Amino acid sequence: MMRQYELVERVQRYDPQADEDLLNRAYVYAMKAHGTQTRASGEAYFSHPLEVAAILTDMKLDSATIAAALLHDTVEDTEATHGEIVDKFGFEIAALVDGLTKIKKLDVVTKEATQAENLRKLLLAMAKDVRVLLVKLADRLHNMRTLHHVKPEKRQRIAQETMEIYAPLAGRMGMQLVREEMEDIAFKVLDPSTAEFINGRLERLRAESGSILTEIEGALRQALEEHGIAAEVSGREKKPYSIYRKMQRKHLSLDQLADIFGFRVLLDNVDECYLSLGVVHQKWFAVPGRFKDYISSPKANDYRSIHTTVIGPHSQRVEMQIRTKSMHEIAERGVAAHALYKEGAGSASAVEDSSAYKWLRHLVETLQEGESPKEFLEHTRLELFHDQVFCFTPKGKLIALPRGATPIDFAYALHTSIGDSCVGCKINGRTAALVTKLENGDEVVIIRSDAASPPPAWEAIVVTGKAKSAIRRATRADIRKQYAHIGRELVEKLLARQKLELNEKEAVAAVPRLGHKNLDDALAAIGRGDLSANDLAKAMGLEIEAKNLRGLRKRNSKESDGKFSLPVRGAAAGMAMKIHAATGAVPGERIVGIVTPGEGITIYPIYADALEQFDQEPDRWVDLAWGVAEEGQRFPARIAINIANEVGALAQVTQVIGEHGSNIDELTLHAHHGVRDFYDLVILLEVTDIRHLNVIMNELKAKPLVSDVSRVTG
């Protein structure tokens, strides 16, 4: 275990002005507070905060951050209190420690809710002071390094949480070294057989490619020297989890990957970066579509570099990263490389002006819009996991979006009101569909209508947390409006039978007695069935005859044969209706009907490919809307799932479906066309509504053996 003077010396090596007294006091206080506590490994518990502090000294962080690392578990795991930390170490360090202390007493009922609340608190603290994040990531990194001492079931949970939250968060903050180490450790825990297989193949490739890599490195260095460019050239190897992720994303086998080994060129200034690029492209053929300039368009985590792939010696594909030494420092250490931690708190703007930190603040603002802990976690994962594309407004404003984003995501990135009123778009001057996936450099114009509102089906199309949150909010508002309309009709019909009219003032005055804030909320509750129309009448002091209530109940009951009728509005009374079997359709998504003489109406989701065949027959189209479904009623939705050909893949899928109370009506499985080791699975599910379906699809997407999940559109 590191001694007190050794820690101080580590800090003073990079910061001669370090507060030695503060470090000594924090060391002694934390050691005494943890006392005889031990870890799962049997080591003294104090070894953990000490190792966390050591990791942060490698990042060259300030004395306050190192002290906070030593103290970060004292309030949570010992008799120490927040007040004591304030008295002994001041408000700055106490605030850092408080941001790292989990919430112990919350009115939550699930582990997921607890996780969400702790993550919410952590992100809020990070937005105030990013050093909270740095200590938390160092804390998680050391926990991952000692994960083999933890019980298997807890080990799995910690590894999954790390893979879903903390590793992507480190990546988004530019801390690539921390991210890669976390991912590789978690990968070994979550999928040990695949990790072992990839590591074995890498060892063999190293042995086979050793001399070739040395030759390429020498040829690259010589080519630059001939043009008077002094560069540091080094070979590198992709990490196992990075290789696995690329295999999954591109549906490739390990043998098909051409960029397992790459080269890094470090230079003194930006001009030399572009000169070096010219030298490389003159000497070797560039691979089309494999050039990216992140110097002129940095990533959201401040990453800057030029990426190119060429056909080098021996016809070998050579992937290169070209950047300055200062860019390399930020690429490796992210926000920890900024001046704040070298010069003290006086230069906080160096971090606050960084794109990574601005993204963090934006993330916190967006995530607070989620209503439930589940939504909060889902939005976090959506924002953390994706790579970026860069698009422009007509005025040249740069908008960074996740890869796979649509013009709808672009509209919501500009402003929520723009997204809500979006009805169309133009991409690079041409009219395009709103489901089009945006590419780097696209110029996007959003076409708006004040009368528009986002259809619920958009939630399955967009990829950003902000867009999904706004669509859900608008959908909830629309559904509430529909329920309120139904509720008003029920109340008015009930009163009409008594030859009465609804008095708005009396109804508003009666609402507080029903536990609602306003009349619309109460009417929506009646429309949903949470209240009866008679409840409102009684609250207004009205008496309704029992025979009228019996008649009303009878007319609103289920069909006499016990089957459910389709809760769809807009069709003529008595018209037969059925849902399109190839796609299914569920409440919450926009639907239309196609009339077939002698058969009735077939209900289609608006995105169904089959609707194209009716484009020239507008007289057959019927505008439909969902009404209120009966309790327990379920609807068909057909989804396509791409799964790995591995033991347990199908079990993962069926387990998720079963856990969420859905049922499988049909299931087909066949080999994925043109790709080895993957299968396409098409399932017809029974779900209650679009929200139920999206929860299932999102959980399926998170499973390690599931490559992709989508709705069947035709």
Report the catalytic residues: 76-77
Distances (CA, A) of 17 to 2, 57, 379: 21, 14, 42
C-alpha to C-alpha distance for 85 and 97, rounded to whole angstroms: 8
What does the CA dihedral 622, 628, 629, 631 come to, rounded to 10 degrees? -170
Which has the closest alpha carbon to 118: 76, 173, 168? 76
Distances (CA, A) of 154 to 142, 367, 605: 16, 27, 42
The residue to which tokens 């945006």 are assigned: 438
- Please answer whether residues 507 and 536 qualify as being in contact, where contact means their C-beta atoms are separated by less than 8 angstroms: yes
Sheet bearing 600-605, strands edge to edge? 577-579, 600-605, 591-596, 621-623
- Which DSSP letter does residue 628 get? P
Helices and strands in the chain, H and E counts: 28, 21
* CB count in 10 Å sphere of residue 543: 9
Q: Is residue 615 packed enough to be buried (19+ CB in 10 Å), middle (13-18) or exposed (0-12)? A: exposed
C-alpha to C-alpha distance for 136 and 52, rounded to whole angstroms: 9
**Distance, C-alpha 327 to centroid of its chain:** 27
Could you write out the DSSP letters of every residue in 390-416? EEE-TT--EEEEETT--HHHHHHHH-H
C-alpha to C-alpha distance for 531 and 522, rounded to whole angstroms: 8
The residue to which tokens 């063999």 are assigned: 204
User: Per-residue b/e over 212-224, b at no fewer than 16 CB within 10 Å?
Assistant: ebeebeebbbebb
**Distance, C-alpha 87 to centroid of its chain:** 39
Which has the closest alpha carbon to 248: 573, 672, 558, 712? 672
β 577-579/600-605 pair status: parallel
- Please answer whether residues 637 and 687 qualify as being in contact, where contact means their C-beta atoms are separated by less than 8 angstroms: yes
Secondary structure element (H or E) that encloses residue 626, with its range:
strand 625-626
Secondary structure element (H or E) that encloses residue 37, with its range:
none
**How many Cα atoms occupy the beta-carbon half-sphere of 472 within 13 Å?**
24
Which has the closest alpha carbon to 159: 202, 190, 199, 204? 190
* CB count in 10 Å sphere of residue 13: 11
With a CB cutoff of 8 Å and minimum separation 6, the contacts of 619 are: none
C-alpha to C-alpha distance for 608 and 351, rounded to whole angstroms: 47
Q: Is residue 230 packed enough to be buried (19+ CB in 10 Å), middle (13-18) or exposed (0-12)? A: exposed
- Please answer whether residues 131 and 64 qualify as being in contact, where contact means their C-beta atoms are separated by less than 8 angstroms: yes
User: Per-residue b/e over 370-387, b at no fewer than 16 CB within 10 Å?
Assistant: beebbbbbbbbbbbbbbe
- Please answer whether residues 201 and 254 qualify as being in contact, where contact means their C-beta atoms are separated by less than 8 angstroms: yes
- Please answer whether residues 334 and 59 qualify as being in contact, where contact means their C-beta atoms are separated by less than 8 angstroms: no
**Distance, C-alpha 31 to centroid of its chain:** 38
